[in-house]
A = this chain, B = another copy of it.
Amino acid sequence: MGRPETAVSEPVPRDRGRVIVEAVTPEVDAGRFPIKRVVGEVVEVEADVFTDGHEHVAAALWVRAPGDPRTREIPMDPRVNDRFGASFVPESEGRWAYTVVGWLDHYATWRDGTRRKVEAGQDVAVDLRIGARLVGDAAERAGGGDALALQDASSALAAGDVGPLTDDALGAIVARWADREPIARHSRTLEVVVDRAIARCSAWYEFFPRSTGPEPGRHGTFADAAGRLPDVAAMGFDVVYLPPIHPIGVTYRKGRNNVTEAGPDDVGSPWGIGAAEGGHTEIHPALGTLADFVAFREAAEGLGLEVALDLAIQCTPDHPWVREHPQWFRHRPDGTIQYAENPPKRYQDIYPIDFDTDDWEALWDELLAVVLTWVERGVRIFRVDNPHTKPFHFWEWLISAVKAIDPGVLFLAEAFTRPKVMHRLAKLGFTWSYTYFTWRQTASELREYFTELTTPPLVDAFRPSAWPNTPDILTEQLQHGGRAVFVQRLVLAATLSANYGIYGPAFELCENRAVRPGSEEYLDSEKYQLRRWDLDAPHSLRELITLVNQIRHAHPALRLDRSLRFHATDNDELLCYSKTSPDGDDVVLVVVNVDPHHRQSGWIQLDLDRLGVAPDHRFDVHDLLGGARYAWQGTSAFVELDPHVTPAHVFAIGRPSRSERDFEAFA
């Protein structure tokens, strides 16, 4: 029968392939963005791979290291329901590529069917001839010893020998030389940005170098600030983060407590960048010279601390760019430059950059140059101020360009803004993101939020950095909860999130005075004045902070986010969760009383499987904060926490050192 006369259009092109590869994970926004991992962290890849009919399929993960033209192939194992899985461990920083391929496994299909016929006592003479041809074809594609082995097997099959049917080694050789055409390939090449290890786990300490002067009222220098470093290192932090260190503008400079008129001695906000002495690549003379900064950085590194700089893309009216590149600012019809505003609020001390400028490409180049200048000076972590007020595409381009030169340069997004905006910045390349942790305070809020953060899609693209306070944010809870709430928030930040930080002296000393009721601004904020901190005050949290960071260092379970699991409690004021190290050997269980005022008790319902404990086994729990040890058994455990003593347990879960039989022997 011929085709009918009707002219047939074919909206879908013909494709001869019979294998389907789909639903590849991990994948962020259909591959639009890379996932995130660190060197040595496993990437578990899964995909649905299947064909029509009953033929066997095989699948492989293809992986390419940055700069390496070769593709590594890793066989994928069949799992349940047409899902295949394999993993790889990136051993270097940079953008790795991966995808999944699948093909018909003709030999496996033939071998399986023929074996079943043999088992059923059927005549397989013709089947063996088919197999001989399959193996012979593979021999033609093969080289060296494989070719010989395949030729031998083909001859044996042709001669009616069923031996090759049970020869797994032969099966592997045939697989190596199998005809895979037409191979099916996932429609997208996926990427993983592989960072150095600190991206996965870090504890940050923020402080103002200028507040480290040797006497009241004297502006601290880098040399003074270096004196603070041994203490910060001793507390177990990994990163010291400094507010901007550039010359501070004088025009419309803000005074203490953010008053509009600065007094003659007022030091101004470090975020008011740019003065006669220079802009984003210069150093505030009162802090010292570039050499002083380098010495500070080296001192930090000598103590195992990395220095993070602030990157705030904004200018005072005194910034050199205002003269040199006036086209980068918005001009009003009256000839003035548009200052920052959020009507009716006005910020006349700040000129925002106009990213809509026609000279945008030169602007982008210059901003990239700023970052690269500091990279050349040894800075490899940037805390980016308000990235959400600059174009997303700019950041995606900038971060990729910097990381193409040095993949070890890392960026923390300070985007306290709407969720979609926050998530987009993470997806496009920011290493870490500040989070809503700061305002998530009830057990249910924390449970819901951290569940979202530690499950796909966010877990693959968004690395939370939990901060209980910042120089901009003294929450109502910290203002009114007393010391207990500082302890509680520290434990939560440091154990819920592998990356966390504190605005240091203020947090250590439980500073809780707001500039006025209803405000989250600190009274006498260091943003606008020098502060002297009595770091040896008896109420300092230094010892607790040190202990918490020691626990983080000793327990790999706490050094990643992905394994977080919440356990049910029967008291809404108790939050219970566990984390497990990738090898399963280290398990930490945390219980926090989130009520800073009252003793709370209740039963927790343990997911023993997540804790790696058999239902009928006794197991030891050791409170790393308080030192107590308990032997627990079963899914229920009773806890009681007094916020005025310590509002949390951080338990290491011990495997039973003896079998249950031993216990019985002693009973």
Question: What are 12 pairs between A and B in contact, CB < 8 Å?
Answer: A1-B373, A3-B366, A4-B369, A10-B400, A12-B397, A14-B397, A15-B393, A15-B397, A18-B391, A22-B29, A52-B388, A113-B341
Please state if A6 and B372 are interface contacts (CB–CB under 8 Å).
yes
Let me know if A614 is at the binding interface, CB within 8 A: no
A interface residues, tally (CB under 8 Å): 83
Let me know if A617 is at the binding interface, CB within 8 A: no
Let me know if A405 is at the binding interface, CB within 8 A: yes
Let me know if A8 is at the binding interface, CB within 8 A: yes
Chain B residue with the shortest CB-CB distance to A373 = B4
Contact partner of A4 among B17, B112, B344, B372, CB < 8 A?
A: B372
Please state if A8 and B404 are interface contacts (CB–CB under 8 Å).
yes
Let me know if A365 is at the binding interface, CB within 8 A: yes
Q: Mark A343-374, 1 if CB is under 8 A from B, else 0.
A: 11000000000011000110011101110110
Let me know if A605 is at the binding interface, CB within 8 A: no
Let me know if A9 is at the binding interface, CB within 8 A: yes
Let me know if A260 is at the binding interface, CB within 8 A: no
Contact partner of A81 among B32, B119, B400, B418, CB < 8 A?
A: B418
A163: chain B residues at CB < 8 Å are: none
Please state if B360 and A16 are interface contacts (CB–CB under 8 Å).
yes
Contact partner of A116 among B130, B344, B368, CB < 8 A?
A: B344
A81: chain B residues at CB < 8 Å are: 418-420
Please state if B344 and A401 are interface contacts (CB–CB under 8 Å).
no
Please state if B393 and A16 are interface contacts (CB–CB under 8 Å).
yes
Q: Assuming the A-B contacts A113-B341, A122-B344, are A420 and B18 also in contact, with contact meaning beta carbons closer than 8 angstroms in the complex?
A: no
A120: chain B residues at CB < 8 Å are: 343-344
CB distance from A9 to the nearest CB of B (A): 5
A373: chain B residues at CB < 8 Å are: 1, 4
Q: Which residues of A contact B (CB under 8 A)?
A: 1-4, 6, 8-18, 20, 22-23, 29-32, 48, 50, 52-54, 81-82, 95, 112-114, 116-117, 119-120, 122, 126, 129-130, 133, 187, 281, 332-334, 336, 341-344, 355-356, 360-361, 364-366, 368-370, 372-373, 376, 388-393, 396-397, 400-401, 404-405, 418-421, 424
A122: chain B residues at CB < 8 Å are: 343-344
A112: chain B residues at CB < 8 Å are: 343
Chain B residue with the shortest CB-CB distance to A6 = B405
A20: chain B residues at CB < 8 Å are: 392, 424
Q: Assuming the A-B contacts A1-B366, A29-B22, A369-B2, are A344 and B117 also in contact, with contact meaning beta carbons closer than 8 angstroms in the complex?
A: yes
CB distance from A335 to the nearest CB of B (A): 10
A389: chain B residues at CB < 8 Å are: 52-54
Please state if B95 and A392 are interface contacts (CB–CB under 8 Å).
no
Identical subunits present: 2
Chain B residue with the shortest CB-CB distance to A187 = B32
A344 CA to B114 CA, complexed, in Å = 8
A333 CA to B365 CA, complexed, in Å = 68
A31: chain B residues at CB < 8 Å are: 30
A436 CA to B325 CA, complexed, in Å = 68
A17 CA to B392 CA, complexed, in Å = 9
A397 CA to B16 CA, complexed, in Å = 11
A114 CA to B344 CA, complexed, in Å = 8
A355: chain B residues at CB < 8 Å are: 18, 52
CB distance from A324 to the nearest CB of B (A): 9
Chain B residue with the shortest CB-CB distance to A356 = B18
Contact partner of A11 among B1, B95, B421, CB < 8 A?
A: B95
Contact partner of A392 among B52, B133, B360, CB < 8 A?
A: B52
A143 CA to B652 CA, complexed, in Å = 74
Please state if A361 and B8 are interface contacts (CB–CB under 8 Å).
no
A424: chain B residues at CB < 8 Å are: 20, 22, 50
8 further A-B contacts with Cβ under 8 Å, apart from A4-B369, A18-B356, A130-B333, are A2-B369, A10-B404, A11-B400, A15-B393, A20-B424, A53-B389, A81-B418, A113-B343
CB distance from A152 to the nearest CB of B (A): 19
Please state if A365 and B3 are interface contacts (CB–CB under 8 Å).
yes
